[in-house]
Amino acid sequence: MSEIVKRVAERISDELKLHKQGLDWEDPDGPIQRAAREAIKAMREPTQAMHQAGEKAWMNRNLRDPNSNPLDDCYRAMISEALKEVEERPASALANPSET
């Protein structure tokens, strides 16, 4: 199992309290890992906003810092951009997504 699939599966299980239902997030053929892989696949193609955030991070990279990792910075910027829309929604919209 890849480390990222493991992280996503564990977060899905924790968020949905699936362990209380007896579902094992570590089962590579189980529904939680399948959901994790599908979630990661959905992020494969960046949106325009994610692309712009990655490009901005790349343009602002610190070439003088030997500890800087511009690819990590771009990746984090793109994922943060993908999450921004959800994080900016009011809590009531998150509780009732069909009403938005």
Are 29 and 62 within one domain? Answer: no
Mean pLDDT of 51-75: 89
- Domain count of the fold of the chain: 2
On whether both 53 and 95 belong to a single domain, the answer is: yes
63 and 92 in a single domain? The answer is yes
pLDDT, tens only, 8-45: 988 898 888 887 888 888 888 888 989 999 999 998 99
Rounded-to-integer distance, Cα 3 and Cα 86, Å = 24
Rounded CA separation 7/50 (Å)? 21
pLDDT for 89 equals: 63
pTM of the model as a whole: 0.69
CB-CB contact of 34 with 27 (8 Å): no
The domain in which residue 77 lies consists of: 48-99
Residues 38 and 53 in one domain: no
Asked whether residue 55 falls in the same domain as residue 29, the answer is no
Same domain assignment for residues 64 and 85? yes
What's the rounded Cα separation, in Å, for the pair 90 and 96?
10
Supply the pLDDT for residue 67: 84
Do 69 and 29 share a structural domain?
no
Closest by alpha carbon to 27, among 36, 16, 14?
36
